[in-house]
Structure 1
């Protein structure tokens, strides 16, 4: 379907005018380094929740995982549950308050600084910043690939040109405006995404005859699964894969576990807990973040799977057979352009641009601060110089944008979902154990946290390069060194690194912490203390509940 050029130009002009206006509002409220990197610590809970959700749900979810759902089926709905339970409820209610208070007590303004100051280690901060700066471009590249593929298929423009235009626009407001600009734009873009996904769900069911008929038709298509997928455990688009099969391991360990739990250890998301003023703001944000993630991820996976019904009815082929080379990254763009009305395609293009821009902006800001603040100022300069921190951070953002774009040109097809899962799995192994130790186990020591960080990072990367077939085989490093595709065969080559590296990281944290001296009681008291405003807030909230109960009686 060709989208009207005049209609498209009008939509894009209005969209970018709104984007730059909202970004400017955030820029004007920045206050030096703290405002640029942490948004002033007084962001409204709805803004925080929408920014968090928009930064989390991107084209990698809508385009990448939507395409995976078209290939593997509705089993990905378990990922939606994991996203909401861990990514919103556990994150906001359990992890968020401790992160906010401790970050304020320690004066931390980035995630690497948060864990570095908690464990009084410049090495932890610098190493964490370097880990983010080196490996997050892989995740960022997957996001901008999704945007580029949709622009390519929708507008018929060159893929490389689409990538360039997209990244230049993001670079402008991220480099200039800082985190508050990013969060303001995120909230605006999240609203567009919500509208777009709601309409997509309605249009899809109307095209396929209703909810019940659409899902029954998909169930009845189980006999159309290609034999190659059947041999790997595929049992139909509305059934889980066969237990212990290759597809089962991919779905459970890499996708559902890797992305579902990995969200807790994402630096660009955790830092948002430190942008609100109190714990009540975090609890209030759950009511916004939960429904938002349900609509974003849930609709993408449902529509992705149901695209098989549409394509089979209209072309006699399933989704994988419609796109070139079975590229799952092209399934959702193909479905949108074939099945949806012209006006909707133009509107949804803006929704997808919003999804990609919000996540990429969060990633670029996080990578830039990791380079400029955590690695440069706190690592190389030993915290002694702050005059050039923002300038180096801006340079870091520009550099990581360039690296991400280069990767977007080089990465293979069907890479969006896998690249996302790889980065989230690495973050889980490297950061989650010491993050939990920082918040909930005062006995965690500097040596224990360091051992956990290093062990999780190295073991995760080792498993990716030498054991896990999905990465080890295409990389070819194991083949070049040892003369075989993977060091371990059979089921081991199907197990995602998260299931091996994360337990090793936890083990290193516990064992080394128990063997080394803990922090002084004075430091721990300062780190974990509740401030007056928190106590006042809780007292006020308790009084309000008592008054309500009394009125009810």
Structure 2
């Protein structure tokens, strides 16, 4: 007997109105936080990093918001919806560990190194750590490449949920969203961006936990979910497998079809949590932490980006498949990425749908804002100001305003013209490259005194080149599995980082003593 699936919901006036009002309130609060933060900076350096006094609660909420992107809040649900239980390896299990290693290994070290070196950006921190302007510039350019790829996914997530709610073209919704993001970044600088992201992180954590738990209870628990999925024609039994060996072992499906891919997933999320520049940059303006405030940071991050979000990311995809069957896959270009918003409508009606829309915009805009602010600073601080130090702060500020607008417009245009087919796979490739490179170049460099600029440079170049080749081989040619690519990235970056460093001259003893022994 075939299961009875619900029809794709039609747009209801009350849902549209309430969602528009909810998103409007959310955006208004973000602007207000930017305005309130305007008085917190006076110089270009303070615009980029504040006064290094932001507390652990706001830092923790902002860190969670930067990590829980449109991928985590929307795209990962689409993976589980598309392939079933086996997709949970890639979509949800990561949150059990989540961002906690980032706090353990990078929080205080990033803040400490940046303060000691007088650095206002992550590339500047790395460049001065290795006494290399050349490395600083190369890292800034490489970050631009990866962060631009990753930013496209944020707007696709926001556009997809807007389509699900209203049935309308996402053009005006996305335009308004990127304008709001530009406004609070320009008004508030780093501090305003951090506070806005902190508000967004707290909100999306609440919504994610609420929707995830609500959906499981509504469905009757995992036994009922599994039973309904098993009844689906043709693919039912496969949907409840924890590994699907019948899927190809090359391309993205390797993450669900073989042990090579499944074992690669914790490595992917461990390295990217620590290596994401937009994560680690949340610590640049953080105040000094004592033991109590450090554990406050850890607790806040886990409450937002821990097990509740795992439930939201993974179980929601299963419940959506139980409700709608495979019919969402036929709605292009959104396809499986519509699973989460339609699920919210099915299990909670207009109230839950409105909260979900607001949470999704919080997830997408917070990560987008964190990345775009970094991208702008990469050009102004890590290229122009670095090589032409006499450029005035006023010129840098105005150029920064323009670059923020540019880096918001480019992914907006790409999303409208040619959005990626499956959000989490596209963004996953960018995440793998960022994680493999910057896990070593940032986190390991905080602890290993012998690391050199040549080891870091070799890691950056190899990781970038392998990511470009891997994207082509995984997505276009389908001759390499996504899990295999991750092993190539991490092992290759690690071998080059350590081997080249051991073969080349380390930084000066004075610098090493300053970073590893002196107090800030």
TM range (shorter): 0.7 to 0.9
| Structure 2 residue matching 1:99: 3-state secondary structure | helix
Q: For structure 1, which runs of at least 5 residues remain unmatched after alignment? A: 227-233, 312-316, 474-484, 533-553
What does residue 486 of structure 2 align with? 498
- 2:8 maps to none
**2:51 alignment partner in structure 1:** 40
Structure 1 residue 33: deviation in Å? 2.4
- Does the aligned pair in 1 maintain the 2:105–2:274 contact within 8 Å? no
- The equivalent residue for 2:509 is 521
For residues 403-482 of structure 1, the aligned pairs below 5 Å read 403-465=410-472, 468-470=473-475, 473=476
Distance 1:20 1:436, change over 3 A: closer
Q: Which residue is equivalent to 1:258?
A: 268
* Counterparts of 2:122 and 2:285, CA distance in 1: 12
- More displaced stretch, 236-245 vs 517-526: 236-245
1:185 pairs with one of 184, 187, 196? 196
> Deviation at 1:150?
0.8
Q: Does 1:89 align with 2:100?
A: yes
Q: Name which of 166, 170, 190 aligns with 1:155.
A: 166
**Offset of 1:206 from its aligned partner?**
4.0
Q: CA deviation at 1:375?
A: 2.0
Residue 412 of structure 1 and its aligned partner are, at CA, apart by: 4.1
Of 493, 499, 519, 1:511 maps to: 499
User: Is 2:437–2:463's contact at 8 Å kept on the other side of the alignment?
Assistant: yes
What stretches of structure 2 of length at least 5 have no aligned partner? Answer: 1-10
* Structure 2 partner of 1:29: 40
Report the Cα offset of residue 374 of structure 1.
Answer: 1.0
What secondary structure is seen at the aligned counterpart in 1 of 2:238? coil
Give the conservation status (yes or no) of the 8 Å contact 2:49–2:120. Answer: yes
Supply the distance in 2 between the matched residues of 1:96 and 1:293 (Cα, whole angstroms).
Answer: 16
**How many residue pairs get matched?**
497
Residues 216 and 308 of structure 1: is their aligned pair in 2 closer, same or farther, counting only changes over 3 Å? same
Shift of 1:26: 2.2
Residue 123 (structure 1) aligned with residue 134 (structure 2): yes
Give the Cα–Cα distance (whole angstroms) in 2 for the partners of residues 164 and 254 of structure 1: 37
Distance 1:305 1:50, change over 3 A: same
How many angstroms apart in 2 are the aligned matches of 1:152 and 1:321?
A: 15
TM-score relative to the length of structure 1 = 0.83
Structure of greater Rg: 1
Taking the aligned partners of 1:218 and 1:375, their CA distance within structure 2 comes to: 56
8 Å CA contact 1:70, 1:320 repeated in 2: no
> Paired residue for 2:391, among 385, 392, 405?
385
Answer yes or no: is the 8 Å Cα contact 1:368–1:397 preserved in 2: yes
Matched, 1:329 2:337: yes
Give the distance between the partners of 2:267 and 2:396, measured in 1 at CA: 37
The question of whether the paired residues in 2 share the 8 Å contact of 1:92 and 1:283 is answered with no
- The residue that corresponds to 2:255 in the other structure is 249
Matches of 2:232 and 2:187, distance apart in 1: 51
Q: Which moved more, 1:442-451 or 1:523-532?
A: 523-532
The aligned residue for residue 243 of structure 2 is 240
For residues 460-505 of structure 1, the C-alpha deviation after alignment (integer angstroms, 9 at most, x for no partner) is 222323xx232xx2xxxxxxxxxxx47xx4xx45545332133222
1:356 paired residue among 360, 364, 369: 364
- 1:437 Cα deviation from its structure 2 partner: 3.8
Alpha-carbon displacement from aligned partner over 1:336-359 (angstroms, at most 9, x marks no partner): 334431122122211211111111
Secondary structure of the residue that 1:275 maps to in structure 2? coil
Shift of 1:198: 3.1
